[in-house]
Structure 1
């Protein structure tokens, strides 16, 4: 069976990364490691993760006409991503993410949209060719909602499976949820979407509540525990994560998303795709950086053995 391409529409960021022993308190200054500037952005990360695992990936987004923008496009191409849908903006700087990583591998991230904020519905329309012959569309919320909604509608019209990562969390139009086949959230985002304390409800109730919003399937990531797959009234399926020594969790959620999209494009059922994605996300936690931590199939096979 031939595997159809997948399309990722969204963000590309230059990650400005500093490691430190612990996170600073309010008003405190700490010493950190030398600054590293690395390719990132949720959508760029997701595309790179899927491409490194062997997927045919088309990326639609925008960067500034500057060194960071050129670095991001070059890195995506090196990972095997088709970047013909990435616009170069002469009137905008490339988006950035300021990232601090502590000694336990946890991170804090502040993003500045830059060119990501210029991605529009018109850009999506201009790149309709990217949807031709594809099977899965991946979305996130690091670009404007008009572009996200236009992409979801275009994907639905083209018959693609629409996978929407509601991160960084924001309230979204009902139309986006209705155009989404699978929603990907972490526990905090799921609580915000539903307005409930997840500790006070059963996973089956969470799945039913998400289905009432018009989304038939959901995957809730639960950090180092793995994830939970929810499909309406079906019984929840818990997918455990392998135990690893985490050194940097930056971009692990994006690795999960990219792997999930890839396996859905390959025809896997959702639970099987999520099981694969958990392994990829866990692998990414064992290396520094975002895209630099993503495995090839051979590396993942060794890790899983």
Structure 2
């Protein structure tokens, strides 16, 4: 079976539901607090595994209760955790999510995710990058590590999907080495401020894939701009929708689908994911995706 490697963050999400954000100096009560497993790397790996894909994750958690919770959740979802390290000096990363009217604002505390250095990757990696069908990266680990892995994968001929979130304005410098760059519309504007969205995707046909939220996904197929529409659903929590998309998109590419087909299937998975709370709570299985009708 073709296997994917995700190198990235894993954390615990503390989701606070409230009617609005407090003003400066204001203290207010929230509706409630819930804990979920998250982190963009872990989310994308779980998205792949739920859809029946074979996936390993490389990253780091703390030697704390949250770290145990993260690893147990990954194993429960059939994600390979052999390359997950346990830091004795840093706590497991956390994301503090304010859920307001079914949308979110997020503050990240990296914790052990910041210990995922190039040296850490070399120690934890138990099989060569070339043994994987694709490597997925995101920006919740150090930027030097992203560049180290991109270089290694290029040397070993491994396709790379880089989801530049949170935005790294230097991500465009890697386009010659990447198979796919998958920013959202806002991130794309930060990475390529010199171009409009249409100009940017036209500059990188079949490589730059830009998510537009409820408007779908746009890319250039080498001849024309294509916009693959999103599925209409009633959103409960949009946290993790982009990660669901990226995991599903990578899996379908590895399975041999065209870019347009992979986007359509990933859009469907992302739509399902927002119908439940938590970054991973609504991520669908392959059966659930097949049964979905918007």
* 1:208 and 2:202 are equivalent in the alignment: yes
* 1:229 and 2:226 are equivalent in the alignment: no
- Structure 1 stretch displaced more, 152-161 or 118-127: 152-161
| From 228, 238, 243, the counterpart of 1:254 | 243
* 1:117 and 2:114 are equivalent in the alignment: yes
1:98 aligned counterpart, secondary structure:
strand
1:107 corresponds in structure 2 to 104
1:160-175 aligned at under 5 Å gives the runs 160-172=158-170
State the TM-score, normalizing by the size of structure 2. 0.94
2:127 corresponds in structure 1 to 129
User: What count of residue pairs does the alignment treat as equivalent?
Assistant: 293
1:18-57 aligned at under 5 Å gives the runs 18-57=16-55
| From 95, 98, 107, the counterpart of 1:97 | 95
Aligned counterparts of 1:145 and 1:90: Cα–Cα separation in 2 = 22
2:62 corresponds in structure 1 to 64
In the TM superposition, residue 153 of structure 1 has moved relative to its aligned partner by 1.9
Q: Is the 8 A contact 1:149 1:175 kept in 2?
A: no
State the TM-score, normalizing by the size of structure 1. 0.91
Aligned counterparts of 2:52 and 2:88: Cα–Cα separation in 1 = 32
2:255 corresponds in structure 1 to 266
Q: Is the 8 A contact 2:130 2:157 kept in 1?
A: no
2:127 aligned counterpart, secondary structure:
helix
Aligned counterparts of 2:174 and 2:219: Cα–Cα separation in 1 = 20
| From 213, 220, 230, the counterpart of 2:210 | 220
Aligned counterparts of 1:249 and 1:62: Cα–Cα separation in 2 = 25
